[in-house]
Amino acid sequence: MELPPVLLSGNWLRTPDLLIVMGALMIFSVAWAWMLRQQVRAKTAEMREWLRREAALKERYRDLLENAIDIVYTRDLEGNITSLNNTGQRVLGYTPEEARGLNLTRLVAPEYRELVRQALDAARAGREPTDCEVEVVTKYGVRMTLEIRGRLLFEGGKVAGVQAIARDITQRKRVEEQVSLQAAALEAAEEANRAKSQFLTNSGRR
């Protein structure tokens, strides 16, 4: 195969065709750079929109927590409270500064401290918390019963703490206790009536 005379002569570097090729390459480079710039702008806009939505979701989630009717808190694996929502602060009587770092063993009534220690051991072992009822003592010395439901929190694939929702069921427990006492009193009265009837029946036979 023979090369074109222009290449054999070495004059191809001075041909108009080279200028056309170089011009085409420059146009292509400019167009490619423009396309890349457009793609970067589009991706940047998408990222900004995603970040905006993520921030809005976080803000909405924070508002929901802060305005929830139940107590919402997080704690570390040692039982120290790391966050407490507005309801928790209001019900328990602690400011955010006082609540942060408060250990659950100090918050619950003495007879429930062993239950708290068991819950801490379970979380350290990676076991999901079980629903429970505990009595706590507020900052002002008032005892109240909470129904607690929690879930493990993870950081870097490892258990870092627990997030929990605690509902005040003090009034419900009082009603249940009152109903139980009334049922026991009714049963005792019925038993007394049965005993009286049996006594009268036996007396009549004599």
* Whether the predicted pLDDT of 139 surpasses 80: yes
pLDDT of residue 14: 54
- Write down the pTM of the prediction: 0.58
Confidence of residue 158 (pLDDT cuts 50, 70, 90): very high
pLDDT of residue 3: 46
Round to whole Å and give the CA distance between 126 and 133.
21
pLDDT of residue 65: 57
pLDDT of residue 27: 83
Tokens, residue 116:
């708290």
- How far is residue 124 CA from its own chain's centroid? 17
CATH architecture of 70-168: 2-Layer Sandwich (3.30)
Percent of the chain with pLDDT over 70: 73
* Whether the predicted pLDDT of 55 surpasses 90: no
The residue among 180 and 70 whose pLDDT is bigger is: 70
Least confident of 48-57, 58-67, 94-103, 111-120: 58-67
Q: Closest by alpha carbon to 83, among 93, 63, 97?
A: 97
- How far is residue 111 CA from its own chain's centroid? 28
* Type of residue found at 4: P
- How far is residue 130 CA from its own chain's centroid? 15
Confidence of residue 63 (pLDDT cuts 50, 70, 90): low
Round to whole Å and give the CA distance between 108 and 116.
8
The DSSP bridge pattern shows strands 71-76 and 81-84 to be antiparallel
The SS3 call for residue 187 is helix
* Whether the predicted pLDDT of 81 surpasses 70: yes
How high is the mean pLDDT of the chain? 80
pLDDT (tens digit, 9 = 90+) per residue, 128-137?
Answer: 999 999 999 9
Question: Domain boundaries in the chain?
Answer: 1-66, 70-168, 169-201
Contact 142/170 with Cβ under 8 angstroms? no
